[in-house]
Structure 1
Amino acid sequence: MENFELLKALFLGLIEGLTEFLPISSTGHLILFGHLIDFKSDDGRVFEVVIQLGAILAVCWLYREKIIHLVKGFFSGDAHARRFALNVLVAFIPAVVIGILAVDFIKQVLFSPIVVACALILGGLIIFAVESRQPAPKTLEATDISIKQAIIVGLAQCTAMIPGTSRSGATIIGGMLSGLSRKAATEFSFFLAMPTMLGAATYDLFRNADVLTADNLLNISVGFVAAFIAAFFVVKALVKFVEKHTLRVFAWYRIVLGSILLFIFYFLR
């Protein structure tokens, strides 16, 4: 039985890594697949939060040279590096405020398959709307984002607290609406994910440290490694994809999956 639970943790870790940076909602997929395979997570959902760190570490590794360059520039007085760091902080703050105020409500009320299904469908429709009307981008590189654009992306990220919305999807679409190119919006989404997901994981671990057991830690470790490996390959592929393609394929995926899940959980249960 213990080995079976580890296989479930491995499976969900792969799901996390595959979906975290695609605009299809990793949290939504974890809730849905966790429900389908009857994975016994802890009450604070620490497993789901911490394995996201595996995915974000994959991004940190892939962008390590750019991160090191920006950090060096920040401390050496490089105005461009400092402005970019400020914009990441500005985009990060709204999620901190809303998250602290609404975290209990979100986890107790919104973490359900029905909410996920509806959010998947609505998010797909929004992607279609934005892609069909997107004006020519004003900013082609993520590091050239303005403070106004950062605020828009930060506010968009707050909507991703609704399971099924997708943090990456919300920030990429918010970036595109603010005038970022699809590639710049995607890469800024990666940079914004670093403090956002690290902060969420640290906060949840602090609040739910009492639910961690040896079994939980083993499941988390397996899921963490699986998420890192899967995300490593997905991130590289996604950047190449958005340079040449729209996000419509993800919109279709969201709508089809959301409709199937809505039918299953609403009409067949």
Structure 2
Amino acid sequence: MDLTGLIQALFLGIIEGITEFLPISSTGHLIIAEQWLGARSDMFNIVIQAGAILAVTVIYWQRLLGFLTGWRDPETRLYLGKLIVAFLVTSVLGLLAKKLGFKLPETVVPIAWALVIGGFWMILAEHFAAKRPESRHISWTVAVVVGVAQVVAGVFPGTSRSASTIFAAMLLGTGNRAAATEFAFLVGIPTMYAASAFEVAATLKDGAAAASEDWLALAIAFIASAITAFISVKWLLGYIQTNRFTAFAIYRVLFGGLLFAMILTGWVT
């Protein structure tokens, strides 16, 4: 790949890193960017998501280590069990969606709708979540619904995996933004690593696909995604301590409206 192609890969990695964990839809932003920069392989999109997940793994390394060292503690085992349930729900439904042939849209219209509707939904959801008793408890119901929410976000780009999982946890189990965000992010770690491993294995099995993949561009995008995601998540975790998600909801509505205007003028399709 030439220098221009590598710069484009870098740019896509940065977009992924910034948007993966903010509730504004990374997939939606990438699909829009690819309309101008050129479409990338499924493995490219999956692996740069893994770069963002790597950043979260680093941020939560002490929490993850605690699952290994503190497994004798009943509360630790219970929380870990709920993470496993959410992951298994996502895995089963995700494979089912893949078998049924669900694919990402090639046009921007459904993404624009998802951004706008999701923005208004976030405002309402946070309003009702604020009325719930403050708690860090994650129920088994929340674990199942968070697993479902991850698949819904994957099938409908623009929904945002982080938004759907965080607000599912806030509405059904805890009004605590930090607790809901932590559970949503921790569930994302095994989910995205598994998806990345599955896609890499499929590509390597297909010799032609592996030969056509630009591994240098992929590596650059992966590193860019990991670095920017680390910065983005650290900022978000501090931000939500004293702020609601309202600013992200407004951004979604404004961005969705801008996309509709760009569709009407032919800038995007």
Counterpart of 1:16 in structure 2 is 16
Looking at structure 2, the residues matched to 146 and 111 of structure 1 have their Cα atoms a distance apart, in angstroms, of 37
Q: Give 1:5's aligned residue.
A: 5
Match of 1:83 in 2: 78
Q: 2:211 aligns with which of 213, 217, 237?
A: 213
Question: Which residue number corresponds to residue 28 of structure 2?
Answer: 28
Secondary structure of 1:110's aligned partner: coil
> What SS is found at the alignment partner of 1:172?
helix
Larger deviation: 203-212 or 164-173? 203-212
Q: Which of 83-92 and 128-137 deviates more?
A: 128-137
What's the % identity of the aligned pairs? 37
CA distance in 2, matches of 1:139, 1:80: 19
Give the distance between the partners of 1:81 and 1:116, measured in 2 at CA. Answer: 38
Structure 1 position 137, deviation (Å): 4.3
Any unmatched runs of 5+ in structure 2?
Answer: none
Q: 1:73 aligns with which of 57, 60, 70?
A: 70
2:40 alignment partner AA = S
Correspondence list, 1:47-126, <5 A: 47-74=44-71, 77-103=72-98, 105-107=101-103, 110-126=105-121
CA distance 1:70–1:139, change in 2 (3 Å): farther
Structure (1 or 2) with the greater helix fraction: 1
Q: Aligned residue pairs: how many?
A: 261
Structure-2 residue corresponding to 1:153: 146
How far is the alpha carbon of 1:164 from its aligned partner? 1.0
Provide the rounded CA distance (Å) in 2 between the counterparts of 1:201 and 1:132.
Answer: 35
Give the Å deviation of 1:267: 5.0
What is the aligned partner in structure 1 of residue 240 from structure 2? Answer: 242
Partner Cα separation in structure 2 for residue 137 and residue 186 of structure 1: 16
TM-superposed CA distance for 1:177, in Å, is 0.6
Residue 157 of structure 2: SS of its match in structure 1? coil
Q: Distance in 1 between matches of 2:102 and 2:261?
A: 23
Q: Give 1:134-173 correspondences, 5 Å limit.
A: 134-138=129-133, 140-141=135-136, 144-161=137-154, 162-173=156-167
Contact 2:93 2:148 in 1 (8 A): no
**Distance in 1, Cα, partners of 2:202 & 2:220:** 22
Q: 1:63 to 1:208 in 2, by over 3 A?
A: same
User: Which amino acid in structure 1 is aligned with residue 34 of structure 2?
Assistant: G
Mapped partners of 1:208, 1:239: distance in 2: 35
SS of equivalent to 2:240: helix
Would the aligned equivalents of 1:58 and 1:228 in 2 still touch at CA under 8 Å?
Answer: yes
Between the aligned partners of 1:10 and 1:213, the Cα distance in structure 2 is 21
Q: Which moved more, 1:164-173 or 1:210-219?
A: 210-219
1:247 & 1:112 partners in 2: Cα distance? 27
Q: List aligned pairs for 1:191-202, cutoff 5 A.
A: 191-202=186-197
CA distance in 1, matches of 2:115, 2:8: 23
What letter is aligned with 1:36? Answer: W
Gap change, CA 1:84 and 1:70, over 3 Å in 2: same
Q: Contact 1:139–1:179 at 8 Å: present in 2 too?
A: no
Asked whether the equivalents of residues 139 and 173 of structure 2 are also in contact (C-alpha less than 8 Å), the reply is: no
Post-superposition CA distance 1:124-164 (Å, at most 9, x none): 111011122224444643xx422122122222222211111
TM-score (norm 1): 0.90
Match of 1:174 among 160, 163, 168: 168
> Any stretches of 5+ residues in structure 1 without a counterpart?
none
